[in-house]
Amino acid sequence: MPVNLFSGDSPFYQFPSPAKLNLFLHIVGRRSDGYHELETVFQFLDLGDSLSIRRTENSNINLLTPIKGVDNDNNLIVKAAKLLQKKTHTQLGAEIKIEKVLPMGGGLGGGSSNAATILIALNLLWQTNLSYKQLAELGLQLGADVPIFIHGFTAFAQGVGEKLTAVYPDESIYLISKPNCSISTQAVFTAKALPRNTEKLDIKAIDDKTYIKGYHNDCQTLVINHYPEVAKLLAWLVEYAPSRMTGTGACIFSRFDSEIEAKRVQALLPPSIESFVTKGANQSSLHQVINRLIDE
């Protein structure tokens, strides 16, 4: 796709929208505006949704594949496109289709990843020429996790998730399992019982090998106390591999030394449990695609 040939309506181009894991999640304080101060390591997965995007000469933003239960105007995909339009004053529009793989309410960052993919892809297709820093600032208006997907590298994140330092954990094999429930991020972060005083880490002291065993998820105890489906599945999984909830849940990731072993345990899960075997990735698949397109 030559990036200097953008006139008229385009064909559809496909862009990945990868999932993420929070290898740990510490809540180290609460700000005066109500937002929480976090420390976490975000790592991407070789797994995600797929967005097909067609640039149009009219300014309409059309999501051609509505997501069940989500009004189009409230969808982060549409919000992200309109936000970029407003920021750059472009008169161009887009038609968008999504192939949804990531479960909603799972803690894998699906909505935030979708928004980031839209911002990055349309910035290219519309030739609005914003930097990743500018796109991340826009993305933060849509959600605290959006900037990590914009920047596209595995990172130790601080603040509300926007202060990023590159780190390089093992790109392990993971079994991702989703209990039969969805969890509201807002409900978790507004719960009185949520710990908010974990001691801050020194980035220099973080050992790439200890993200699983050395740290924890401050949301996990709260969630398993209120969602027996999560508690039951997690208790079962830890018998086979180091396992932890990602984000505010409900998905649980279990770390394995081989794909064969991960798939063996996956086969033992009840059919009602949605699951994936995938690999960690320290660079976003979206950025790999964008870099190839720019180079062509």
| CB distance 252 to 244 below 8 Å | yes
Among candidate residues 49, 79, 145, 218, the one labeled active-site is 145
Distance of alpha carbon 296 from alpha carbon 101, whole angstroms: 29
How would you classify the pairing of strands 93-99 and 61-63? parallel
Query: Is the four-CA dihedral 140, 146, 147, 151 of positive or negative sign?
Result: negative
Among candidate residues 20, 49, 79, 178, the one labeled active-site is 20
| CB distance 55 to 6 below 8 Å | yes
Distance of alpha carbon 174 from alpha carbon 290, whole angstroms: 26
How many domains are there within the chain? 1
Q: Tens place of pLDDT for every residue, the chain, 296 residues?
A: 444 445 567 899 999 999 999 999 999 999 888 889 999 999 999 999 999 999 999 999 999 998 888 888 889 999 999 999 999 999 999 999 999 999 988 999 999 999 999 999 999 999 999 999 999 999 999 998 999 999 999 999 998 888 899 999 999 999 999 999 989 888 999 999 999 999 998 877 666 555 556 789 999 999 999 999 999 999 999 999 999 999 999 999 999 999 999 999 999 999 999 999 999 999 999 999 998 888 76
- Output the 3-class SS for 118-140: HHHHHHHHCCCCCCHHHHHHHHH
Record the tokens describing residue 215, joined without a space: 């740290």
The reported pTM is 0.93
- Output the 3-class SS for 142-171: CCCCHHHHHHCECEEEECCCCEEEECCCCC
Other C-beta atoms closer than 10 Å to the C-beta of 90 total 16
Catalytic status, residue 20: yes
Q: What range defines the domain where residue 154 resides?
A: 1-296
Catalytic status, residue 263: no
Report the CATH number at residue 78. Answer: 3.30.230.10
Residue the block writes with tokens 């304080």: 29
